[in-house]
Amino acid sequence: MTAITIRDVSESTLEALKIKAAKGGRSLQTYLLDLVTRDARTPSLADMMTRLDRETRSDVSTSDILAAIDEGRQRR
């Protein structure tokens, strides 16, 4: 595996990360590896929008929806 070095991390940031890792019962390295891995697996907003666009297509028009609403109201 490859090692990653992050430079110029402030002491306050490092301390906050150490605390979060400790609260989770993990080492700093394990905590950061989990964080980076989770981020790498999370799709970007653009990818999510593309997927939503692809999977949520509908042939129902606005007028069809409004007609169905009106029909439902008339049945009351």
pLDDT value, residue 21: 98
> What gap in Å lies between CA 25 and CA 63, rounded to an integer?
56
Owner of token pair 């929806």: 65
User: Are the beta carbons of 20 and 35 closer than 8 angstroms?
Assistant: no
Sorting pLDDT into bands at 50, 70 and 90, what band is 76? confident
Q: Which domain holds residue 53?
A: 11-75
- pLDDT the model gives residue 15: 98
Nearest to 20 by CA among 38, 3, 32: 32
Which pLDDT tens digit goes with each residue over 28-47?
999 999 999 999 999 999 99
**Is 1 contained in some domain?**
no
Residue 4 resides in a domain: no
Nearest one of 20, 2, 18 to 10, comparing CA atoms:
18
pLDDT classification of 54: cutoffs 50, 70, 90 = confident
Q: Give the predicted TM-score (pTM) of the model.
A: 0.62
Question: How many structural domains are present in the chain?
Answer: 1
Question: To which residue do tokens 């939503």 refer?
Answer: 52
Instruction: State the average pLDDT over residues 11-37.
Output: 98
Q: Is 74 helix (H, G, I), strand (E, B) or coil?
A: helix
